[in-house]
Amino acid sequence: MSDEAQRWKEKYLKSIEQQEKLERRWDARLDLLRRGLVRSTLAAEGTDRAVDQCMKEMREVVRTDEMDAGLAALIPRLEKAVLDSEQRRETRVNQTSAALTALVTQLQTLPLPREVSRPLKNFAKQLDNRVSQAREIPLLLSELSGLQGKALSQLDSPAEPGRPGLLQRLFGHREADDAAMQVAPVAEQAPSQRLSKQARRRLPRHCQQPANSQRPSIKRT
C-alpha cells in the first residue's frame, strides 16, 4: 500500500472514531435532556389540569425513539395551556391579595399597642410583592395567623393592667348600666320609707297605729 493510501486510511479511521464519539456524546446529552424534562414535568404538576395533561403526554413522548412528530404536535398545545394557566394564576393572586389585605385592614382598625401594630403595618407593606410568589403563600398565612393571635389577645388582655380590655369596655358598661337600673328603684324607695316612719313618730301615741295592724271593720246593721 502506498503512503498516500495509508494516509487516507488513517484519516478515514480517525473520522469514524470521531463520529462514534459524537454519537455517544449526543446519546448522553439526549438521555440527560429526557431525564431532566421528565423530572421537570413531574415538579410542575398540580398547578393546572390542562398543563398537567400536556406534561403527562410529553413524558410519554420523550421516552420513545421517534419523538419528533409527537413533540411537534404537543408543543403548541402546551404553549396555549401554559398561557391560559398564567392568566388564571394572576386572577388567583389578585383574589388572594384582596382577601389578605381585607384581613389586615380589619386587624388594623383595632386599638392595638405599638409592638403589635408595627409588625402588622410592615406585613401590609410587603404583602403585594410577596403574594405573587407561590412559595410565599404558606409563609404569609403563617405570619398573618401569628399577628392575628397577638391582636385578638389584646381584646381581653390590655397592655396596661389597670385599663380594661376592649370586650370589657364594650360589655362592662352595659352590665354596670343594668345594675344601676336595678338599684335605682330601691334607692328611690328607701327615703320614702324613712319619711313615713318619721311622720308616724310625730303623731300622738293614741293616734299611732302599728304597721301590721289592720283597720277595724264596721259592722253594718
pLDDT digits (tens, 9 = 90+) for 170-179: 455 455 455 4
C-alpha distances in angstroms, 122 versus 127, 143, 212?
9, 11, 76
H helical segments located in the chain = 3-43, 49-62, 68-108, 114-130, 137-156, 166-202
- pTM over 0.85? The answer is no
Residue 195 has pLDDT above 60, yes or no: no
The whole-chain average pLDDT of the chain stands at: 76
pLDDT of residue 135: 84
The domains of the chain are located at 6-91, 110-185
pLDDT in tens, 87-130: 998 898 899 999 999 999 998 888 888 888 899 999 999 888 88
13 pLDDT band (50/70/90 cuts)? confident
Buried b (16+ CB within 10 A) or exposed e, 121-158: eebbeebeebbeeeeebeebeebbeebeebbeebbeeb
